[in-house]
Chain A
Amino acid sequence: MDLYVHPRFEVLRSEKKCICCRVCERQCANGAHGYDESAGTMESYDEKCVNCHRCVALCPTKALKIAETSHSFRQNANWSGHTIQELYLQANTGGVLLSSMGNPRPLPSYFDRILLNASQVTNPSIDPLREPMETRTFLGKKNQTVTRDTRGRLKDNMGAQLELRAPIMFSAMSLGSISYNAHASLANAARELGIFYNCGEGGLHKDFYKYGPNTIVQVASGRFGVHQPYLMAGAAVEIKMGQGAKPGIGGHLPGHKNMGQIAATRMTPEGSDAISPAPHHDIYSIEDLRQLVYSLKEATGNTKPIIVKIAAVHNVAAIASGVARSGADIIAIDGFRGGTGAAPTRIRDNVGIPIELALASVDQKLRDEGIRSDVSLVVGGSIRSSTDWVKAIALGADACYIATGALLALGCHLCRSCHTNLCNWGIATQRPDLVRRLNPEIGAEHLVNLIKAWQHELREIMGGMGINSVEALRGNRLMLRGVGMTREELDILGIKHAGL
């Protein structure tokens, strides 16, 4: 007999408000609701509930709420009830614990312990509603030498660049991990916002080639959906070396999700697993990485900047220094809170380092070595608000990647069940009846709203600092102060403690 695992959530239904319309039953792909014909009442199956709030949001009489169970084990500061239940599950199944989205553990957030500056009296603040604020950003290698023609005019020796209206992009999520409608929403929003979305490692659906000028295409170890027209379709090509949610672990789309258009886009046999292991088996050194970077440059006729995405891990500064020397134009660094469509829980929760520390040490290392201008830095994992965004730029980022935040704007409720293919919000699922629930036009509208709101806030904050361009904010650590940090933490971040 299996060890008993108590349901994590309880479906609380107000008998008084419930009209037995069965909307909850129809909306729940997990099967947490049912109808008892003979009694004429609704039933709940707590063990099926993942707390995604679909039923709560759609219940016409607001008769439902979901609560974390109050059922408890005997108090134990070392063994939490959740840890005990996970152990039971493994004892029952022999399986690696699998979950999704970003690390939920209560580890310190450095963004939350950094405070921003504002001008007072001298160097007055700027009113962004009246005065121009430059948020346009160019990503790519900036040459440090000036060359002139025989008449003394400057020669354009600038390599391929990405031009963003504001320094933010939607980071890689593959078609397969998220739905067609989620991709359509991101692509549309990126185009309207003058920024980029990243199609992830699952290839680019034929319907989305038209968004190419606002698309970053990704090449991972599995090379799904990669051919020369794909490389040419995007505005930039990203080599995925690592992912913040699961550094050292690769991607694995289970066969049941690899069907129809997903398989066609990935160019792999339907129903077979799509496996992209963490190592690229042709890359064992910076020289090997350089070979892939340059093969992509050659295949695209040097028209696309090449991004190399790495996870934030212990020696990230030295790794980034190597990557900068590989010929990459942009380095993307993904922090340990970055999301995922599926990852072994233990890896997600314990591997990698905070993006704030990784970014600060990479930026410093590249400056110390005199190669900071050779690459742009893009960071993600996780940027939750405009202030995280501002702080990242002040710590040295050229731009930020957001993904979890973007999915929230599409209706995600962070139930962390993406790997089940049963996303009731139509985001992380390939079931056609569920995918239809996400309207890509409304999705795009929400994304555009979110980024526009953040842009207003960015301008307000910059104006308060007396800064009128993102360029002047980048790496401007004088705008940052730490609270409640050790000397060492402050040194790594390169900032002073508040009060100094």
Chain B
Amino acid sequence: MTTIDAKALHFSQLGESLRALAGQEVQVKNCLGHRYIGAGISGISIDIDGIPGNALGAYLLEGSTIVTRGNAQDATGDTMSGGSIVIHGSTGDAVGYGMRGGSIFVKGNAGYRAGIHMKEFGEKCPKLVIGGKAGDFLGEYQAGGIIVVLGLNAKQGEPCVGRFCGTGQHGGKIFLRGGIVPNELPPQVFVKQTEPEDLEPIVPLLEQYAATFGVDLGMLKSSPYLLLTPNSANPYQSLYAQY
């Protein structure tokens, strides 16, 4: 395990050090808003002590893991391709933007536009799990992958996500624990209460969330969930007149 003290480092210096340590285990101490940690690096394991800045784990590759003990900021896991990011706190806006593989586990809340443009192809299916609540536009333009919002801190009867959830969704699945239908759902989204077999793809995610953050797995598994899926893979097909 290599330790880097980030206190006096610019983000570009920290980035250079981390790229040189690809394939190793690294602890970053005194992290204070450093952006782009782990951007595009494969096979690295980064443990962050402090607060990372925007675009944590952007373009992250297979075999990399990032664990942060505090909160993360905006654009966590932007266009992430593989590996995993675990946040023992909350994260800002646009977490998992354009994500196409790997997993992100957020113990607390996520900001606006979490999981937008997530996509999948073949073996690659990205997963985003948010333990608390998520802001507006969750899963906007989602084309693939799985988003789970647990709403563990949601009040009784309160939806665990904000408005316009799944706007333009044309693929993938969104699971919302608690069974409360979010406000102002767009017409592209089809909502149903889950049957036990619907939950199969998220059971391993619930297990990992429970184990990582010390939450009762039985409670997670026995809760009611809503499943949001697109009602068309071609939402704008009838919009145009060709000539």
Contacts and interface: CB of A to CB of B under 8 A. Distances in A.
Given A226-B98, A299-B58, A269 B42 contact: no
Contacts of A273: 170, 233-237
Given A89-B243, A221-B117, A227 B122 contact: no
A281 B116 contact: yes
B100 A272 contact: no
Q: Give the secondary structure class of A's interface.
A: mixed
A95 B236 contact: no
A223 B79 contact: yes
The CB with the most chain B CB atoms within 10 A, among A89, A93, A282, is that of A282
Nearest to B235: A273
A268 B241 contact: no
Given A226-B98, A268-B144, A295-B35, A97 B122 contact: no
Interface in A279-297: 281-282, 291, 294-295
Interface in A250-276: 252, 254-255, 263-264, 266-269, 271-275
A68 to B, nearest CB: 15
A269 B15 contact: no
B59 A269 contact: no
Q: Give the secondary structure class of B's interface.
A: loop
The CB with the most chain B CB atoms within 10 A, among A221, A232, A269, A420, is that of A269
B236 A252 contact: yes
A496 interface: no
A282 B94 CA distance: 6
A222 B168 CA distance: 12
5 contacts: A97-B240, A267-B120, A294-B35, A295-B78, A299-B58
A44 B79 CA distance: 50
Interface in A100-146: none
B121 interface: yes
The CB with the most chain B CB atoms within 10 A, among A99, A273, A277, A302, is that of A273
Interface string A403-426: 000000000000000011000000
Contacts of B74: 282
A277 B170 CA distance: 13
Interface in A194-228: 219, 221-224, 226-228
B97 A267 contact: no
B75 A227 contact: no
Contacts of A272: 143-144, 170-171, 233-234
A302 B97 CA distance: 22
A98 B98 CA distance: 27
B243 A99 contact: yes
A3 interface: no
B98 A222 contact: yes
A95 B241 CA distance: 4
A274 B141 CA distance: 9
Interface residues of A, number: 49
B175 interface: no
Contacts of A228: 40, 42, 59, 61, 81
A223 B243 CA distance: 29
A228 B38 CA distance: 12
Contacts of B40: 228, 231-232, 298-300
Interface string B98-113: 1010000000000001
Contacts of B141: 222, 275, 277
B156 interface: no
A298 B39 contact: yes
The CB with the most chain A CB atoms within 10 A, among B58, B113, B141, B241, is that of B241
Contact of A299 (B54, B59, B171, B236): B59
A273 B238 CA distance: 12
B36 A298 contact: yes
The CB with the most chain B CB atoms within 10 A, among A219, A268, A271, is that of A268
B163 interface: no
B204 to A, nearest CB: 21
A84 interface: no
A499 interface: no
Given A267-B100, A291-B35, A299-B58, A96 B239 contact: yes
B119 interface: yes
A291 B121 CA distance: 27
B132 to A, nearest CB: 21
Contacts of A291: 35, 54-55, 75
Contacts of A252: 236
A227 B243 contact: no
Interface in B151-166: none
A375 to B, nearest CB: 19
A227 B100 contact: yes
Interface string B1-42: 000000000011001100100000000000000011001101
A275 B170 contact: yes
A291 B35 CA distance: 9
A419 B242 contact: yes
Given A295-B39, A298-B39, 11 more contacts: A89-B243, A95-B238, A96-B240, A231-B40, A268-B121, A269-B144, A272-B170, A273-B233, A274-B143, A294-B11, A295-B35
Nearest to B37: A298
Given A223-B79, A227-B59, A269-B233, A298 B12 contact: yes
A98 B59 contact: no
A14 interface: no
A157 interface: no
Nearest to A93: B241
Contacts of B94: 281-282
Contacts of B243: 86, 89, 97-99
Nearest to B36: A298
B124 interface: yes
A456 to B, nearest CB: 40
Contacts of B168: 275, 277
A301 interface: yes
Contacts of B93: 282
The CB with the most chain A CB atoms within 10 A, among B79, B100, B120, B141, is that of B79
A189 to B, nearest CB: 29
